[in-house]
Amino acid sequence: MVTTLATSLLRPARNAPVEERIEGNWHVYPLEAALELDYVDQAGNATRRWVLARELKVGPGKMLLGGIDILLDEGYRGFRVDRIQRLEDAETGFVVEHNILDWLMKLAERQARARRKAAKRFPMPGSGTSAETPTR
C-alpha cells in the first residue's frame, strides 16, 4: 500500500495566480493548503472532503473556497465556506471549528506576506529592481 501525504501534493500549479485580484464582484485571494473539510452539501448531506485549496473568493453575501477535491475525479470546484462545519490543516494538524472564514482569510494574508517577502529577497528577472543591475 502506498501512502501519500496531502502536503506532498501542495506544489502550486504552474498556471495558478499568485496575486490578489478582482473578478467581477469577487475579491480573489490566492491560497495554498491541504485541508480536510467536514462539509454539508447542497442536499444537506454531511461529507468529509480532502481538498488542495488554491483560492478564497469573497463576494456579495457568499464566500467560496476553491480547490481540488483529491478523492473525487471532478477537478477544480468551489466549496461554500458557510457549509464548512470543521476544517483541519493537513500540514499542521490545526483544527478550526468556529470562525472558519476568518481563519482562511488570515492564512491567505500570511501567505501573501510570505510571497512579498520572498519577492523582495529574490526579485524576478525583468522586474527592474536594482538587484538585477549589472555591476562593472
13 lies in some domain: no
Residues of the domain holding 57: 18-122
Of 100, 25, 99, nearest to 58 by C-alpha is 25
Domains of the chain: total: 1
Domain annotation covers residue 133: no
- Give the model's pLDDT for residue 119: 82
The pLDDT of residue 74 is: 72
Q: What is the pLDDT of residue 126?
A: 63
Question: Is residue 34, in this structure, part of any structural domain at all?
Answer: yes
Per DSSP (E only), the strands in 11-132 are: 21-23, 26-40, 46-59, 62-69, 76-80, 84-89, 95-96
10-residue mean pLDDT profile of the chain (136 residues): values are 45 60 93 96 95 94 93 86 97 96 94 88 62 45
**What is residue 29's predicted lDDT score, i.e. its pLDDT?**
94
* pTM, to two decimals: 0.76
Does residue 77 sit within a domain?
A: yes
pLDDT at residue number 71: 86
CA dist., res. 39 & res. 72, Å (int)? 14
Query: What pLDDT does 123 receive?
Result: 72
| Antiparallel, parallel or unpaired: β 21-23 and 46-59 | unpaired
